[in-house]
Every structure is written in structure tokens, then in C-alpha cells.
């Protein structure tokens, strides 16, 4: 089932990306010969106007076949020049090429905003809008060699109550309250009741230690007060924009670091995921609920946008680079140069994809 959900998400994101290219090309009078989801062989095809719409057998990807995009000026007849990509002004070509990325970013913003509107998990100190519902205290981190680690607590556990034998707190479980209770308790042992991520309730007897932080009794956990935030439509769009901007910056920095390490042969493929790894992440998100699935869809959409903007042959960023070079030198780049750089670029991307996918498979074992 997770594979089906992943393929549906991928189809949606590819459709959004290619729709951007398609609509902007149509807007400026460029002919689009084919709009395809997936790669051939064709399963279903329908001709509407000048465009053939196809659903193809290989589900990983999609394309729009824009007339004149890869053609040499001498290959286009006079009557077709008005609907050819290559004969449009350079700024129009750039808009068409960047449209797919733009649509992916807009889509991510709308999906994230929808998540805030229907209810998104948020940490209380960072919540400035809306109402926090179903609030609870979760363990976010456990120090190694700590009493909490020894006892068996795990990140993600929800603290229900904590008792020193005389006093029990369960209604005011804020991080600072629990920390104070632990540090000031005169009891040797504490009874902590938690609910696991599988909705099971467990009790742990833990002895606080002063060895981790000298002079302060702790059990070695970090905590956050979290709940579901539901925002108004306007606040959802505003917070959605802020979150999208944060993800764009973080993804750009992460991708730049990975590419640099790949070029210098220092890349760590354990930190990236291919189709198999992403399918696993989608499964985990779908198990947690629809809101988490929306978040993953938005993150994948942003990654797709940033990756496509890389100025590398066979990507939208590579095509933008060629348009920029042609603008500067004031003449078309040799079709053979364009052809072979795209072939080499695509081959490199396929090798990279194979390496990442192989790593995904190794992780399974």
C-alpha cells in the first residue's frame, strides 16, 4: 500500500511540475506537442487540440514535449516559428523553464498551509497563532549513559505522570515543571508513567543522577510541550509561507553540501534517500496520519524544485544556464553541444540514482 501511496504522490508532484511548464508555454503561444505522466511505453493517450495527453507505463517522472525546445533554428519552417520555443524571446524561454519549479514551490506552500488549517503538530513555545489542542509532553531526546536510557525510555514517549512517592504531577506537565520536580525531589527514585508511540502505557522507576550535570539531579531527557495547532485561513497561508521559506533554505544548503561532497568524493549516501527510501518515509508518515503525509508531500515537492534548479545538463537549471549563455554570446549554442551535454548529464544523474537506490536496498538488510 505504501508503494501505491508513494506513486500517487510522485504522480501528483510531477503533474504539478509539468503543468507549470505547460501553462506558461501555452500562455505565450508556444505549441505543446505532448503532456505525459510517466515514461513510455504509452498506456493511455488522448489528443486534445494540438497536444497529445498520455499516461505511461514507467511511473517515475513525466514530461512536456514543447515544440522547438531542442530544435535548431534551421529545422523549423517559417509558418511554425511563431509557435516555437526557440524563436521566443529569451525571457519567455526562461519563464517557461522556471515555471515547473515555481509550481512545485507554490504547491508545497498550499499543502503546508492546508496542514496548518486542518491542524498541524506544533511545539508550544513556537506557537504564536491559533489554538493548541491535545497538548502533551513528549520526550524528544535521551542522553547516552543516562538513567532514562538505562531504564528504557525512548524519544517519542509521552509523559503522563511523574511521582516521587509523596507528590504526583499529571495536570501541569510542562518541561520546566518536570525539570524542577526532578531536580528538587528528595526521593531516591521516581515513578514515571509514559505512553509509547504505539499507545501503550508503561511505568519506569528511575533514579536521578548528579553525574551528568554536577550538582543538579537529572534523568537525562529533553522534552517538548506539543499539540495540534489549527489556524485561520489567513494565518495558515502566512505560517505556510514562513515554513516553505525555511524549508527552501534548509534544502538548498543541504543539497549544495551533498553535491560538493559528491564532487570531492566525500559524500555520505546514508544521509540521502532514493525512491525506495522515500517510499519507506511515506509509509511511516501515512501510518502517523494524513497531516504527516501532507508534510512529506510538501518536503518532496520542495526537494524536486531545488534539484531541478541545479545548473546541470538535463535539468531545468541546466537549460536555464544554456539560455543565459546564449543571451550573453548573442547566438545559439551548437545543437551537438546541447545534445551531448544533456546525454552526459542524464547519464550521470542515472548513475547517481542507481547509487542512492543501491544504498536504499542495503539499508533494508
pLDDT value of position 110: 96
104 and 79 both lie in a single domain: yes
pLDDT for 203 = 92
Interstrand relation of 221-230 and 131-142 (parallel, antiparallel or unpaired): antiparallel
Tens digit of each residue's pLDDT (9 = 90 or more) over 248-300:
998 898 888 877 776 777 766 566 666 666 777 777 666 666 777 888 899 99
The three grid cell numbers given for residue 249, joined into one nine-digit string: 533554505
Q: Are 193 and 215 in contact (CB under 8 A)?
A: no
Element containing residue 32 per DSSP (H, E)? strand 32-48
Residues 70, 203 within the same domain: no
Q: Do residues 162 and 182 both lie within one domain?
A: yes
Same domain, yes or no: 15 and 62: yes
Residue 208 maps to which CATH number? 2.30.42.10
pLDDT score, position 125: 55
Residue 199 phi, psi dihedral angles, 5° rounding: 65, 20
pLDDT at site 326? 87
Q: Which of 213, 229, 245 is the last residue of a domain?
A: 229
Same domain, 198 and 264: no
* Closest of 243, 104, 226 to residue 173, by C-alpha: 226
Question: pTM of this prediction?
Answer: 0.73
240 and 309 both lie in a single domain: yes
Q: Are residues 102 and 55 in the same domain?
A: yes
Q: Does residue 240 share a domain with residue 105?
A: yes
Question: pLDDT tens string for the chain (365 positions)?
Answer: 667 888 888 889 989 999 999 999 999 999 999 999 888 889 999 999 889 999 988 877 788 999 988 755 456 777 788 899 988 999 999 999 999 999 999 999 999 999 889 886 666 554 445 556 677 888 888 888 899 999 999 888 899 999 988 889 988 788 888 999 999 888 889 999 998 876 789 999 999 988 888 778 899 998 888 877 788 899 999 989 999 999 999 889 888 887 777 677 776 656 666 666 677 777 766 666 677 788 889 999 999 999 889 888 878 888 898 889 888 988 888 878 887 888 888 787 778 777 766 666 666 66
State residue 159's pLDDT score.
92
Say if residue 172 is in the same domain as residue 284: no
pLDDT digits (tens, 9 = 90+) for 37-60: 888 889 999 999 889 999 988 877
Does one domain contain both 238 and 360?
yes
Of 174, 209, 229, at which residue does a domain stop? 229
| SS3 annotation, 118-162 | HCEEEEHHHCCCCEEEEEEEEEEEECCCCHHHHHCCCCCCEEEEE
CA angle 149, 292, 234 (to 5 degrees): 125
Give Cα 39 distance to the centre of its chain: 23
The pLDDT of residue 98: 96
Residue 288: per-residue pLDDT = 61
DSSP state for residue 270 in the 8-state scheme = G
Give, as one character, the DSSP assignment of residue 333. P
- At 88, phi and psi to the nearest 5? -85, 155
Helices 90-118 and 2-27: crossing angle in degrees, nearest 10, is 140
176 sits in the region (left: phi over 0; alpha: psi -120 to 50; else beta) called alpha
Task: Give the structural domain span for 215.
Answer: 123-229
Q: Which helix (H) or strand (E) holds 150?
A: helix 147-151
Which of 177, 199, 229 represents a domain boundary (last residue)?
229
Count of domains for the chain: 2
The most distant pair of C-alpha atoms in the chain lies apart, rounded to whole Å, by 91
Whether residue 155 is found in the same domain as residue 243: no
Angle between helix 90-118 and 233-263 (nearest 10): 120
Q: Are both 110 and 241 inside the same structural domain?
A: yes
Amino acid at each position: 500500500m505504501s508503494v501505491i501511496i508513494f506513486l500517487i504522490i510522485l504522480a501528483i508532484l510531477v503533474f504539478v511540475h509539468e503543468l507549470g511548464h505547460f501553462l506558461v508555454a501555452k500562455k505565450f503561444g508556444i505549441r505543446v506537442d505532448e503532456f505525459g505522466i510517466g515514461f513510455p511505453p504509452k498506456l493511455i493517450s488522448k489528443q486534445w487540440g494540438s497536444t497529445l495527453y498520455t499516461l505511461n507505463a514507467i511511473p517515475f517522472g513525466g514530461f512536456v514535449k514543447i515544440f522547438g525546445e531542442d530544435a535548431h533554428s534551421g529545422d523549423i519552417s517559417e509558418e511554425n516559428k511563431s509557435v516555437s520555443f526557440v524563436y521566443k524571446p529569451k525571457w519567455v524561454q526562461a519563464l517557461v523553464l522556471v515555471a515547473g519549479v515555481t509550481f512545485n514551490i507554490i504547491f508545497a506552500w498550499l499543502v503546508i498551509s492546508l496542514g496548518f488549517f486542518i491542524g498541524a503538530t506544533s511545539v508550544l513555545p513556537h506557537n504564536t497563532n491559533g489554538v493548541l489542542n491535545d497538548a502533551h509532553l513528549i520526550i524528544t531526546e535521551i542522553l547516552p549513559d543516562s538513567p532514562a536510557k538505562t531504564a528504557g525510555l525512548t524519544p517519542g514517549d509521552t509523559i503522563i505522570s511523574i511521582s516521587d512517592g509523596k507528590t504526583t504531577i499529571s495536570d501541569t506537565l510542562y518541561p520546566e515543571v518536570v525539570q524542577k520536580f526532578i531536580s528538587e525531589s528528595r526521593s531516591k527514585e521516581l515513578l514515571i508513567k509514559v505512553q509509547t508511540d504505539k499507545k501503550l502505557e508503561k511505568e519506569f522507576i528511575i533514579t536521578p543522577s548528579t553525574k551528568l550535570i554536577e550538582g543538579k539531579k537529572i534523568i537525562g531527557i529533553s522534552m517538548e510541550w506539543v499539540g495540534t495547532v489549527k489556524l485561520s485561513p489567513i494565518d495558515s497561508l502566512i505560517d505556510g509561507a514562513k515554513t516553505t521559506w525555511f524549508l527552501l533554505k534548509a534544502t538548498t544548503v543541504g543539497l549544495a553540501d551533498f553535491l560538493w561532497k559528491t564532487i570531492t568524493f566525500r559524500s555520505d549516501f546514508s544521509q540521502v534517500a532514493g525512491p525506495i527510501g522515500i517510499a519507506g518515509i511515506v509509509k511511516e508518515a501515512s501510518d502517523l496520519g494524513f497531516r504527516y503525509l501532507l508534510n512529506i508531500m510538501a518536503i518532496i515537492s520542495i526537494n524536486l524544485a531545488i534539484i531541478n534548479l541545479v545548473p546541470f545538463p538535463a535539468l531545468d537549471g541546466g537549460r536555464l544556464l544554456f539560455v543565459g549563455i546564449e543571451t550573453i554570446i548573442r547566438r545559439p549554442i551548437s545543437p551537438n553541444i546541447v545534445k551531448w551535454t544533456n546525454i552526459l548529464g542524464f547519464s550521470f544523474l542515472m548513475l547517481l540514482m542507481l547509487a542512492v537506490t543501491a544504498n536504499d536496498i542495503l539499508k533494508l538488510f
